[in-house]
Amino acid sequence: MSEIKTQTPNPPSHRFCIAPMLDWTDRFYRRFARELSQHTWLYTEMVNTGAIIHGDQMRHLRFDPAENPLALQLGGSEPADLAKCAKIAEQWGYNEVNLNVGCPSERVQSGSFGACLMLEPNLVADGVKAMRDACNIDVTVKHRIGIDKIEDYSFVRDFVGHVAKAGCNTFIVHARNAILKGLSPKENRDIPPLKYDYAYQLKRDFPQLEIIINGGITTIADSQIHLQHVDGVMVGREAYHNPWILTEVDAAIYGAAHIAKTRRAAMENLRGFVDAELSAGTPLRYVARHILGLYQGIHGARHWRRMLSDASLLKNADWRLIEEALNIVESRQESSNVSQNA
């Protein structure tokens, strides 16, 4: 074990979560997101059990303690491997281990995990039980509401009921079917219709379980509506492309003060992390690609994105490039305000 983290005691509830997103929710994005919300529950990208057991654990599991509360999402189906990874996740300081039973990609299906596992509730239950026996942190499941043409509510109801008996108390419900053949993962996020009422009904049928709803949620106002019916919400792409919405979460969802008053303040709070990464040899582009949406919808956003995605500017760049981008955006905003008031 190369590095062990300290687990945050008594982490907040799952009332607001950012979805695990491949190539997006890496440790650099998560550390940035934590500067915008202290209470949002963060998830890693999905990591295959084989990569953890046989691969570079430092690469796959490393995180900054400030990221907590944080969950490791696993892709796999072999109970013994899942148990090993759950124990490792606990040792590294994760607050939760989450089993992916929702990804519809053919590559994932070929490995016998992801959404196709909804057709094998006994195997999912065995995996959950093995993980629960191996660790003392939460074991949760993220899943769809159906597979292909299986659209009856009873399918997801029976799946949740069966897996809950194995010791899973928290279910993250992506309220769409997974189409295993004929749709890409991207199309699977948009084309199958959303059926939020299925998630609401799960909460009514299983009031003792924690039910978190996912799919198509883009605003804090929408989140608050869903929270009248379920225990938590999970937001995906909107939290990545328009990250400033996270500054509303602590007050609106958790009743706590948020920490970032301005976008500049958020970036200045992140500077210590960025400087440490640069000193360790991490290229600035690893961080910069995740902050491009910071000024989404704000005058000057195009200049911000252009500077921090320019390969020639990013080469050998340090914090001064971010500082310069901040200054240019603020200058553009001041000029716009002057012209509007003239």
Extract the runs of DSSP E, i.e. beta strands, from 117-157.
Answer: 138-143, 146-147
Residue with tokens 């606990």: 90
Q: Which residues pair with 140 in a beta bridge?
A: 98, 170
Q: Which residues pair with 99 in a beta bridge?
A: 74, 141
Give the β-pairing of 138-143 and 70-75. unpaired
- Is 214 annotated to bind ligand? yes
- Is 7 annotated to bind ligand? no
Q: CA 132, CA 89: separation in Å to the nearest integer?
A: 12
> Maximum distance among all alpha carbons in the chain?
69
- Is 129 annotated to bind ligand? no
- Is 143 annotated to bind ligand? no
- Is 195 annotated to bind ligand? no
CB atoms within 10 A of CB 293: 18
**Of the candidates 197, 195, 209, the residue with the CA atom closest to the CA atom of residue 138:** 209
Q: For residue 98, what is the DSSP state?
A: E
- Is 111 annotated to bind ligand? no
- Is 14 annotated to bind ligand? no
- Is 74 annotated to bind ligand? no
- Is 237 annotated to bind ligand? yes
Q: CA 217, CA 43: separation in Å to the nearest integer?
A: 17
- Is 12 annotated to bind ligand? no
Active site residue 85: no
- Is 76 annotated to bind ligand? no
Residue among 17, 103, 116, 168 flagged as catalytic: 103
Q: CA 167, CA 127: separation in Å to the nearest integer?
A: 10
Q: CA 233, CA 225: separation in Å to the nearest integer?
A: 10
Q: Binding site: what residues are annotated?
A: 20-22, 73, 142, 174, 214-216, 236-237
Q: Binding site for FMN: what residues are annotated?
A: 20-22, 73, 142, 174, 214-216, 236-237
Catalytic residue list: 103
